[in-house]
């Protein structure tokens, strides 16, 4: 396995000598704002991917490389080249969850928006909520982990779009079939759109009822699109499984975590890339949005769910939790859920408690599947 050349070897933190650089990333240009540890602006620069060397020279002019910390929202395609250059030049990078910068914008007394203001907000979030930010996956993960994570993320994104379109198309067909056949159009089938049902609709609609030719044609076109979508989903799903089979992390989750299928395991790995980004299980639980937040006041102790976690990762853990408490689910998961309900918790809160336990399991499984001698992020 090939190891990334710039794995962290020391703790990253903010001190009085630090220079925080918030970056607002766009397709053609990026805006950077440098500030001191007290949030006072020092310098600003707008640059493009074509003049990244100028940006590096600007960073070097701000101070010692070890004291300059670059903060940017977790980027996909637009900031890829920027991150690669920063990693190569060994500048510390922290990813700031977009939802935190949005919350910073909403709570600000100044609601105006510009690239400069957005870059400054990214830097402020790093200053005030450092523990809620993460090191860039590119600086922690091995080359193999990055390749698997990026591939799975791309395939899962495509699959989500196809499934979304499939659901929309099925909803349209339900309405049109009800209009054509009446209330009981699917009573003779186990599922409204299984192969037997679709074949029946296609044969029957070729000879439409009088006055309903246009409706029948519209249904037929949608049925053909539905068939094509299902074929594409099956193809993408097979590709995801093939990639997952080559990943120690995905295979470990699939075999060791009850209620976790290959697609769910792939989703968990795609959203984490490498578990070594998280120094503790609590940090991972916070990232997944399953660590409760304290809303206590006086003698009233209240714990709320964390709405600022990674929603796709949270959804994957939710799917595992539902599988575990199902009729044929995991006895340990069902017992834990039942015990929490008996303690007086609502079923919804008991499910949240189970999701936290599952997050702890995921953390342990992925940590064992990772390379033991590589350092954790801090």
Instruction: Give the strand order in the sheet containing 93-96.
Output: 41-48, 29-35, 19-25, 68-73, 93-96, 134-135
Contacts 24+ apart (CB under 8 A), 179-188: 179/215, 180/205, 180/209, 180/212, 180/215, 180/216, 180/219
Strands 41-48 and 29-35: antiparallel
Q: What is the pLDDT along the chain (378 residues), one digit of tens a residue?
A: 333 433 333 355 788 889 999 999 988 889 999 999 998 999 999 999 889 999 999 999 998 888 999 999 876 678 888 998 999 998 999 998 887 888 777 777 666 778 899 999 999 999 988 888 888 888 888 889 999 999 999 999 999 999 999 999 999 999 999 999 888 888 888 888 999 999 999 999 998 888 889 999 999 999 999 999 999 999 999 999 999 999 999 999 999 999 999 999 999 999 999 999 999 999 999 999 998 765 444 555 455 666 678 899 999 999 999 999 997 888 999 999 999 999 999 999 999 999 999 999 999 999 999 865 455 555
Domain 19-140 CATH superfamily: Ribonuclease H-like superfamily/Ribonuclease H (3.30.420.10)
Whole-structure pTM value: 0.84
Distance in angstroms (rounded) separating the CA atoms of residues 42 and 21: 10
Report CA dihedral (81, 84, 89, 93) to the nearest 10 degrees: 100
Using an 8 Å Cβ cutoff, are 237 and 158 in contact?
Answer: no
User: Residue 270 corresponds to which tokens in the numbers above?
Assistant: 């795609």
């Amino acid at each position: 396995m090939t190891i990334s050349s710039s794995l962290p070897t020391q703790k990253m933190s903010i001190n009085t000598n630090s220079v925080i650089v918030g970056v607002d990333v766009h397709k053609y240009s990026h805006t950077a704002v440098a500030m001191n540890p007290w949030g006072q602006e020092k310098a600003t620069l707008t640059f493009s991917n074509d003049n990244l060397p100028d940006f590096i020279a600007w960073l070097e002019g701000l101070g010692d490389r070890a004291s300059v910390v670059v903060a940017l929202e977790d980027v996909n395609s637009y900031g890829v080249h920027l991150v690669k250059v920063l990693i190569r030049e060994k500048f510390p990078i922290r990813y700031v969850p977009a939802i935190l910068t949005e919350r910073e914008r909403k709570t600000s007394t100044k609601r105006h928006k510009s690239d400069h203001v957005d870059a400054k907000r990214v830097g402020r979030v790093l200053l005030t909520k450092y523990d809620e930010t993460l090191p860039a996956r590119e600086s922690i993960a091995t080359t193999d982990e990055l390749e698997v994570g990026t591939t799975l993320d791309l395939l899962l994104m495509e699959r989500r779009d196809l499934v979304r379109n499939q659901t929309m198309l099925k909803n349209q067909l339900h309405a049109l079939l009800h209009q054509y056949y009446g209330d009981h159009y699917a009573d003779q089938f186990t599922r409204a759109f299984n192969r037997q049902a679709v074949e029946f609709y296609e044969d029957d609609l070729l000879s439409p009822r009088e006055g309903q030719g246009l409706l029948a044609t519209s249904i037929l076109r949608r049925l053909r699109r539905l068939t094509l979508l299902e074929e594409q989903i099956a193809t993408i799903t097979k590709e995801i499984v093939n990639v997952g089979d080559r990943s120690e992390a995905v295979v470990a989750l699939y075999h060791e975590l009850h209620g976790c299928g290959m697609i769910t395991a792939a989703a968990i790995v795609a959203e984490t890339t490498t578990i070594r980004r998280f120094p503790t299980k609590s940090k991972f639980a916070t990232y997944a949005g399953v660590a409760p937040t304290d809303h206590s006041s006086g003698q009233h102790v209240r714990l709320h769910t964390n709405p600022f976690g990674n929603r796709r990762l949270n959804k994957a853990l939710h799917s595992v939790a539902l599988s575990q408490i199902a009729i044929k689910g995991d006895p340990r998961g069902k017992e834990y859920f039942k015990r929490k309900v008996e303690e007086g918790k609502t079923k919804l809160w008991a499910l949240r408690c189970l999701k936290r336990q599952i997050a702890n399991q995921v953390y342990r499984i992925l940590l064992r599947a990772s390379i033991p001698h590589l350092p954790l992020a801090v």
